[in-house]
Amino acid sequence: MHDFVVVGAGPAGSRFARRTAEAGHDVVVFEKGDVGTPLACSGHVSTDIWEYVPETARSRLFQTEVHGARFHVGGPDSSAYRFYKHEAVSNVIDRVELDRTLAACAEDAGAAVHEGHTVTHVEEHNDRVVLTVSADGETQTVETRMVAGCDGPTSRVRRSLGLEEPSELLHGVLAFDDEPDHGDDVDVHLTAPRFFAWRIPRGDAGVEYGLAAPPGDDVSALFDRLTDAYDVETEHFCSGAIPIGPPSSVTTRRAFLIGDAAAQTKPFTGGGILYGMTAADVAAATIDPTDPSTLGAYETEWRDELEREIRLGRFVRACYSLPEPVQRVGLRALSGEIGVHMDRPSSFFSREHLRRLFG
């Protein structure tokens, strides 16, 4: 019987597997595909990312440094309101390589990572969890003291155990133009319903165009409108779901969710790489596989760490749906040099930052 079976080797699963293997637990990870693929992410992250990977990985992962964002109420020809910092606000990284690096860290720590293994069913018992796993046309059952559902926005673990769904699933799409761009700023267009479209310079890796919106909206047509407005042809089109709004509970007696499976994402950007790994560290520090009562501590502590930021992030996102004239006034008033941390909307509302804005 394993201590932990981790379903999914994305950032949340690999980080949790690494930390629990380092603590001496018997940890197995099942990943249905090849780690890191298919890509459905911009890899635009705060500089905190470097705390989670070995120093030697930096040169493989790093693509560009971002200093600011130009907000537009309309398309590329509309006025831009620039928010910037002199130092780097964020980095753009190779997301496929990030996942491979994190999975390798988990393996180095002693976790067994199995690619091409799909978990098709999860059954919870009083004293263990039994998983059905399929690989190469064969099916096996695996027993574990606890299971970590790190299987992304449409989590099978969440559904098998009857846990509540996230409040919302947005549909995100992106594609690339090969032309190198070493620019400092990302462009944000408040033109997608209830969310936004973006243009991200990725250094020698080219330029990324993308957007997210609620699934009822024709996201592909909105994407074509964005790239037509920029007059670019893109390739490597990718698509994925973005969960927003964590369920009221992400734990059962012997199972728990981390990352997108638990909708641990920023409501105002959809970003979940760092929130997922933050929650993975909380889970590894609080959960004892021999003591189901410790799951209560995970549920409380990840919310202590992230829930306030998620609530404030929801408030920021509500501004994307304000009438255009109000958006213009707000953007004009607030643009300029900022002192905020990309993952922490609370830094925007800090006394220091408000004094700087209005002082």
Ligand X SMILES: Cc1cc2nc3c(=O)[nH]c(=O)nc-3n(C[C@H](O)[C@H](O)[C@H](O)COP(=O)(O)OP(=O)(O)OC[C@H]3O[C@@H](n4cnc5c(N)ncnc54)[C@H](O)[C@@H]3O)c2cc1C
Rama region for 290: left / alpha / beta (φ>0; ψ in -120 to 50; rest): alpha
Q: Taking CB under 6 A as the rule, does residue 5 contact ligand X?
A: no
CA-to-CA separations, 324 to 190, 282, 314, 320, in angstroms, rounded:
9, 40, 19, 9
Q: Taking CB under 6 A as the rule, does residue 17 contact ligand X?
A: no
Q: Taking CB under 6 A as the rule, does residue 96 contact ligand X?
A: no
Q: Which is nearer to ligand X, 17 or 331 (CB)?
A: 17
> For ligand X, which residue of 166, 206, 246, 271 counts as binding (CB under 6 A)?
271
Stretch that binds ligand X, among 52-60, 144-152, 178-186, 309-317 (CB under 6 A): 144-152
Q: Which is nearer to ligand X, 237 or 333 (CB)?
A: 237
Q: Which is nearer to ligand X, 285 or 333 (CB)?
A: 285
CB 40 within 8 A of CB 57: no
In whole angstroms, the minimum distance from the beta carbon of 17 to ligand X comes to 11
> For ligand X, which residue of 2, 25, 32, 72 counts as binding (CB under 6 A)?
32
In whole angstroms, the minimum distance from the beta carbon of 150 to ligand X comes to 5
> For ligand X, which residue of 68, 152, 246, 345 counts as binding (CB under 6 A)?
152
Backbone angles phi, psi at 68, to 5 degrees: -165, 175
> For ligand X, which residue of 18, 21, 42, 207 counts as binding (CB under 6 A)?
42
Alpha helices in the chain (DSSP H): 11-22, 58-61, 95-108, 156-160, 219-230, 273-286, 295-318, 324-334, 351-358
Integer Cα distance of 71 and 91 in angstroms: 18
Q: Taking CB under 6 A as the rule, does residue 102 contact ligand X?
A: no
In whole angstroms, the minimum distance from the beta carbon of 324 to ligand X comes to 25
Stretch that binds ligand X, among 150-158, 160-168, 298-306, 314-322 (CB under 6 A): 150-158
Stretch that binds ligand X, among 32-40, 60-68, 79-87, 302-310 (CB under 6 A): 32-40
Q: Which is nearer to ligand X, 8 or 292 (CB)?
A: 8
Integer Cα distance of 183 and 167 in angstroms: 36
Q: Which is nearer to ligand X, 8 or 166 (CB)?
A: 8
> For ligand X, which residue of 3, 185, 260, 309 counts as binding (CB under 6 A)?
260
Q: Taking CB under 6 A as the rule, does residue 272 contact ligand X?
A: yes
Within 163-182, which residues bind ligand X (CB under 6 A)? 172, 174
Q: Which two tokens stand for residue 72?
A: 């537009």
Q: Residue 21: exposed, middle, or buried by beta-carbon count in 10 A (0-12, 13-18, 19+)? A: buried
Q: What is the DSSP letter of 208?
A: E
Integer Cα distance of 289 and 284 in angstroms: 10
Could you tell me which of 42, 14, 7 has the C-alpha nearest to residue 280?
14
Question: On the CB side of 154, how many CA atoms lie within 13 Å of its CA?
Answer: 5
Torsion of CA 60, 66, 69, 75, to 10 degrees: -50
- Dihedral of alpha carbons 346, 18, 63, 58, sign: positive
> For ligand X, which residue of 68, 201, 206, 276 counts as binding (CB under 6 A)?
276
Q: Taking CB under 6 A as the rule, does residue 267 contact ligand X?
A: no
CA-to-CA separations, 288 to 24, 200, 250, in angstroms, rounded:
11, 41, 16
Please tell me the count of residues contacting ligand X according to CB under 6 A. 36
Q: Taking CB under 6 A as the rule, does residue 201 contact ligand X?
A: no
Q: Taking CB under 6 A as the rule, does residue 210 contact ligand X?
A: yes
> For ligand X, which residue of 240, 246, 267, 313 counts as binding (CB under 6 A)?
240
Question: On the CB side of 347, how many CA atoms lie within 13 Å of its CA?
Answer: 8
Q: Taking CB under 6 A as the rule, does residue 208 contact ligand X?
A: no
Spatial neighbors of 139 by CB under 8 A, at least 6 apart, are 120, 132, 133
Residues binding ligand X (CB under 6 A):
7-13, 30-33, 40-45, 118-119, 150-152, 156, 172, 174, 210, 240, 242, 259-260, 265, 270-273, 276
